[in-house]
Structure 1
Amino acid sequence: MSTEFSTVAWAKDATMYEVNIRQYTQEGTFKAFAKHLPRLKEMGVTLLWLMPITPISKKVRQGTLGSYYASSSYTSINPEFGTLDDFKQLVTEAHQLGFKIIIDWVANHTGWDHHWTIEHPDWMMKDEAGNFTEKNGWHDVIDLNFDVPQMRTALIDAMRFWVTECDIDGFRCDMAHLVPPPSF
């Protein structure tokens, strides 16, 4: 399988704007951010890249807020941002204004309380003693085991959820260089 991908036409000349929902407004919600869409449109933005919107792991959390990149679920919304319906409404409003929306996708690792750690512990990397591990010095995450085909399928299914259920336009894959091809 080739590891080269063609650029989709709408992304080729896009003006991308990265959005951190938590810090963008005082409220830190999808609804509050949506009020700024017209201004971003006037600025010439055509593509909104949302930093991770999934729930932040509480187990082995770094600091008081935790890292967006330590997700506890691939198919849920971080409740501090609002609900799944709030997110869908944001996507709808953005599309009506002509924006494309991509979300940050963390495909290399999960947080320590991701449900896969209980339901499918074999989907996680382990050290020689059988303990969950990661190899990049990020102690709040566990690396995924890409040798397990079922895990790769579940990861793709989770990505499909965001496209089919929420109508997003794509993903920005965090730490993609650590995800072995052909994983997607």
Structure 2
Amino acid sequence: MPIRHLLRLAALAPALLLWGCRALRSGSALPCTTPPSWSRNANIYELNLRQFTPTGTLQAAAEHLPRLCELGVDIIWLMPIHPIGEDRRKGTLGSYYSVRDYRGVNPEFGNLQDMKSFVNQAHDLRMRVILDWVANHCAWDNPLVSEHPDWFTRDDAGHMVAPVPDWSDVVDLDYDDPELRRYMIDSLLFWVREAD
């Protein structure tokens, strides 16, 4: 893997720290990483695509990147960009955190090419882009639920469960399974390869 890809993967470290240091159910802990030096003292702007512009798209948001740069923003932190689950959806729009496809772009925001363009425009302005990575749960209609049912937390009766009772639109992932950890790492690498 080229060093530039490793450096870009390091850019994902802040998002990984949000979930990567929790203890596994088996009691073992995952090692934590130190955030990259470029993130220290950086001005981070969390961007909610749906509400940021009237059209709520990556293309429309990209038009505002020069203004954000002038404001001193160093890092654009995109709220989840993935397709939103429909099964058990809350409200008409659903939650960004109900991820139906970890390697897809919500069509409401655009497509992979729009994401690449957004990232390239940010990089041209010397800004970095990080993703709000939803790693602890996914939508009930995410293909992982049917393809890898062993990757999910279950109650005493053997039913898949939500992380907390009120989060009924998502199902909890169980990181005791090393294949799930590999899948998530591969999904993170997908974004480094495809959009950076």
TM-score range normalised by the length of the shorter chain: 0.7 to 0.9
> Residue 97 of structure 2 contacts residue 134 of structure 2 at CA under 8 Å; is this kept in 1?
yes
The Cα offsets for residues 87-130 of structure 1, whole Å up to 9 and x where unpaired, read as: 00000010001100000001100010001011111111122222
* Equivalent residue, structure 2, for 1:139: 168
The Cα offsets for residues 34-55 of structure 1, whole Å up to 9 and x where unpaired, read as: 0001111111111100000001
Matched AA of 2:76: L
CA RMSD, 1 decimal: 1.2
> Residue 163 of structure 2 contacts residue 170 of structure 2 at CA under 8 Å; is this kept in 1?
no
TM-score, normalised relative to structure 2: 0.82
Cα distance 1:5–1:78, how it changes in 2: closer, same or farther (>3 A)? Answer: same
Residue 5 of structure 1: which of 33, 57, 61 is its match? Answer: 33
Matched AA of 1:47: I
Matched AA of 1:101: V
| Mapped partners of 2:182, 2:136: distance in 1 | 14
* Equivalent residue, structure 1, for 2:186: 157
Q: Are 1:32 and 2:60 an aligned pair?
A: yes
TM-score, normalised relative to structure 1: 0.87
Cα distance 1:120–1:91, how it changes in 2: closer, same or farther (>3 A)? Answer: same
| Mapped partners of 2:90, 2:37: distance in 1 | 39
Secondary structure at 2:35's aligned position in 1? coil
Secondary structure at 1:106's aligned position in 2? coil
Secondary structure at 1:74's aligned position in 2? coil
Q: How many residues matched?
A: 167
> What pairs up with 1:39-54 in 2 under 5 angstroms?
39-54=67-82
Q: Are 1:127 and 2:147 an aligned pair?
A: no
Mind listing any 5+ residue stretches in structure 1 that lack a counterpart? 168-184
| Mapped partners of 1:2, 1:73: distance in 2 | 25
Secondary structure at 2:99's aligned position in 1? coil
* Equivalent residue, structure 2, for 1:101: 129
* Equivalent residue, structure 2, for 1:22: 50
Matched AA of 1:158: S
Matched AA of 1:164: R
Q: CA deviation at 1:136?
A: 1.5
| Mapped partners of 2:96, 2:70: distance in 1 | 29
Task: Spell out structure 1 runs of 4+ moving beyond 3 A.
Answer: 1-4
